[in-house]
Structure 1
Amino acid sequence: MAGAIVKRGERITLRTLESEDVDVLQHGAGDPEIRHLTGNSKVRSRDELEKTLEDDNVTILLVCLDDPGEPGPVDTDDVRRVGVVSVSEWTRNPRVGFWLRSGVQGEGYGREAAALLVDYVFRSYDTPTVKAKAFEHNEASRGLLESLGFEQEGRLRMNAFVDGEYRDGILYGILREEWE
């Protein structure tokens, strides 16, 4: 069952991820294309994914469509869970991440979800900046971040081994005053 509403947009809602929703994480961890784009080459078990939910330094939220807009938990049949966004407390600057199921990519849901997440972070964290990382080969995520005003701040050379080769990670950041 999808959890409480954290942030509402025009077409999507961010909701808390409950333990019953680990199947959404499994989808992302099990989809080779998502793993390729996010640089997560390791396939993780349900138990490993459930441990992620217990990490106090990571907040994982569901990206939902077809939400009736009622406050609090709703029946699973009323919510279409299409992806995940996350905030990791990375030193003093939160780092955001996101992915959507392949059937809904390219519809603008990712941009709306990422914008809602950045807004949530600036309203919830006392931080001057929000960080993100996208792999050099993930042009869609890089374009999304840049369309939201994120600036390239650095490169992590040979940051991950993906599909038989090392890939560079591109670090992005946006300052609070740039977002507002």
Structure 2
Amino acid sequence: MFIKDSTTNISLRSIETKDIFDLWKIAYDEDLEWMKWNGPYFNDPVLTFEELKKIAEKYYLDNPYRAVIVYEDKIVGQVSAFWEDGELKQWLEFGILLYDQNTWSKGIGSKVIELWITHLFEITPYIQRLGFTTWSGNKGMIKVGEKIGMTKEAQIRNVRYYQQRYYDSIKYGVLRDEWQLIHEV
């Protein structure tokens, strides 16, 4: 899979074995600021290269629901999608990780998610909705959801505990027909 935006220097492509080291380097060997925004209340571990390689070889390669984000010819993150309802495969959720802080607040995340949503609707023509979940402390993801025309569908109050404080869990979604109207797909 390869998707390139015609107006920016942003593309999504399938994850290959050669990408695993680059993903590890930007995710776990350089700046860990992204971990403060990606569900920090889960206390996910900082992975070694060997740990990430094992996970990547099992779940990332040859997976149409995962891709690397390439900006200006450099891997800067990844996108993923998963079935919230397991084997029923009617409820697809997605995520985005932009590891490099230099890519934040530049519209890159919005463009990536637009490309990713369009791709996911194309490869799963029978589903009617796509969405993501974030937390009220991640103002950037909230802004992205609103900017690209998604609907705030739920706000579960005070369920995410981080740094001695409770935050809300927030869900955004978009229906296929809404996406087609907004983005003329």
* Bucket of the pairwise TM-score, normalised by the shorter protein: 0.7 to 0.9
CA contact (8 A) 2:159 2:166 kept: yes
Render the CA deviation track for 1:9-63: whole Å, top value 9, x for unaligned.
1321101112332332553356442111111432232344334432388832111
Is structure 2 residue 24 aligned with structure 1 residue 28? no
Is structure 2 residue 69 aligned with structure 1 residue 63? yes
Q: Which amino acid aligns with 2:52?
A: L
Q: Percent identity?
A: 23
Point out the more displaced range, 19-28 or 86-95. Answer: 19-28
| Equivalences for residues 2-151 of structure 1 within 5 A | 5-9=1-5, 10-11=7-8, 12-22=10-20, 23-25=22-24, 27-29=26-28, 31-40=31-40, 41-45=43-47, 46-53=49-56, 54-55=58-59, 59-66=65-72, 79-91=73-85, 92-100=90-98, 101-125=100-124, 126-151=126-151
Q: Counterpart of 1:152 in 2: which secondary structure?
A: strand
Q: CA RMSD in A?
A: 2.4
Kindly tell me the number of residue pairs found equivalent between the two proteins: 164
Shift of 1:158: 4.4
Q: Counterpart of 2:168 in 1: which secondary structure?
A: strand
Q: Which amino acid aligns with 1:133?
A: T
TM-score normalized with structure 1 length: 0.79
Cα 1:133/1:51, change in 2 over 3 Å: farther
For residues 54 and 173 of structure 2, what CA distance do their matches in structure 1 show? 28
Q: Counterpart of 1:38 in 2: which secondary structure?
A: coil
Gaps of 5+ in 2: 181-185
Is structure 2 residue 153 aligned with structure 1 residue 153? yes
Cα 1:162/1:51, change in 2 over 3 Å: farther
Point out the more displaced range, 165-174 or 24-33. Answer: 24-33
